[in-house]
Amino acid sequence: MILTRAYLALLALSAASTLVAAAGLSGRWLALLVLTLAWGKARLILNRYLGLAQAPGIARGFALVLAIYMVILTVLAALADPGQV
């Protein structure tokens, strides 16, 4: 049942990604929204499909590394030159 809910959540996040892409956004806003949705999908896959929810210490380590990586990407996206994006 947990994997079914995780699969449905991944479908919903993927549909949201498609809607964001089809909305005609560009530049920083598109990057920020896509990164946010990707972050949610990555956490869901790590915790549910890979079973890291069963190992809280390891899950926290992965969550920290993922958070640092996503913050770096978000800052880079926010600082991007609008003429280049």
CA-CA distance, 83 to 85, in Å (whole number)?
6
Q: For 69-75, what is the mean pLDDT? A: 93
Residue 31 has pLDDT above 60, yes or no: yes
- Full-prediction pTM beyond 0.85? no
Q: What is the mean pLDDT of the chain?
A: 89
Q: For 49-70, what is the mean pLDDT? A: 93
Q: For 12-29, what is the mean pLDDT? A: 90
HSE of 14 in the Cβ direction (CA atoms, 13 Å)? Answer: 8
CA-CA distance, 74 to 33, in Å (whole number)?
10
